[in-house]
Amino acid sequence: MSALIAVIDIGKTNAKLMLVEAAGGATVWSVERASPAVETPLMRQLDVYGIEAWLIAELAKAPDRHRIRAILPVAHGAAIVLVDGEGEILIAPDYENTCFDEVRADYAAARDGFAKTLSPSLPAGLNVGTQLFFLQTQMPDLFLRTQRILAYPQYWSWRLSGVAASEVTSLGCHSDLWNPSDGTFSGLVLRQGWGALMPPLRAAKDVLGPLRQDVAEATGLPADCAVICGIHDSNASYLSHRVARAEDGPFTVISSGTWCIILAKGADLTRLREAEDMLANVDALGVPTATARFMGGREYATIAGETARGVPPSLDGLNAVLAADAMALPSFALGGPCQGHEGRVVQAALLAPEGRAALATLYCALMADLILDRLGVAGAILVDGPFAANPLFPAVLQSLRPADPVAAGGTRGGITAAVLWLAGEAVPPEPVAATLAPLPAAEALRDYRDRWRSMLARP
The count of other CB atoms within 10 Å of the CB of residue 239 is: 26
171/293 same-domain check: no
Task: Among 180, 213, 229, identify where a domain stops.
Answer: 229
85/50 same-domain check: yes
**β-pair type (251-255, 380-384):** parallel
Task: Among 185, 202, 229, identify where a domain stops.
Answer: 229
In the prediction, which pLDDT does 90 show?
Answer: 98
345/276 same-domain check: yes
Confidence category of residue 339, pLDDT binned at 50, 70, 90: confident
Contact 9, 18 (CB under 8 A): yes
pLDDT digits (tens, 9 = 90+) for 192-216: 999 999 999 999 999 999 999 999 9
Measured distance CA(121)–CA(129) in Å, rounded? 10
Burial class of residue 432 (count of CB atoms within 10 Å of its CB; 0-12, 13-18, 19+): exposed
Contact 365, 446 (CB under 8 A): no
309/177 same-domain check: no
Sign of the torsion formed by the C-alpha atoms of 300, 96, 422 and 288:
positive
Measured distance CA(235)–CA(71) in Å, rounded? 18
CATH number of the domain residue 216 falls in: 3.30.420.40
Cβ contacts of 74 within 8 Å, gap of 6 or more: 7, 8, 9, 10, 153, 230, 231, 232, 233, 236, 415
pLDDT digits (tens, 9 = 90+) for 351-400: 999 999 999 999 999 999 999 999 999 999 999 999 999 999 999 999 99
Which amino acid belongs to residue 49? Y
In sequence order, what DSSP letters do the residues of 285-323 get, joined into one string? TS-EEEEEEE-HHHHHHHHH-GGGTTPPP-HHHHHHHHH
Confidence category of residue 412, pLDDT binned at 50, 70, 90: very low
In sequence order, what DSSP letters do the residues of 83-113 get, joined into one string? EETTS-EEE-B-TT-GGGGGGHHHHHHHSPP
Domain count, the chain: 2
Whole domain around residue 285: which residue ranges? 235-456
pLDDT digits (tens, 9 = 90+) for 19-28: 999 999 999 9
195/264 same-domain check: no
265/177 same-domain check: no
Alpha helices in 353-407 (DSSP H): 353-375, 386-389, 393-400
213/260 same-domain check: no
164/239 same-domain check: no
Task: Among 229, 262, 297, identify where a domain stops.
Answer: 229
Measured distance CA(292)–CA(286) in Å, rounded? 18
28/154 same-domain check: yes
pLDDT digits (tens, 9 = 90+) for 286-313: 999 999 999 999 999 999 999 999 999 9
In the prediction, which pLDDT does 433 show?
Answer: 67
pLDDT digits (tens, 9 = 90+) for 143-158: 999 999 999 999 999 9
243/188 same-domain check: no
Helix (H) / strand (E) containing 260: strand 260-265
Measured distance CA(222)–CA(244) in Å, rounded? 30
In the prediction, which pLDDT does 411 show?
Answer: 44
158/261 same-domain check: no
333/410 same-domain check: yes
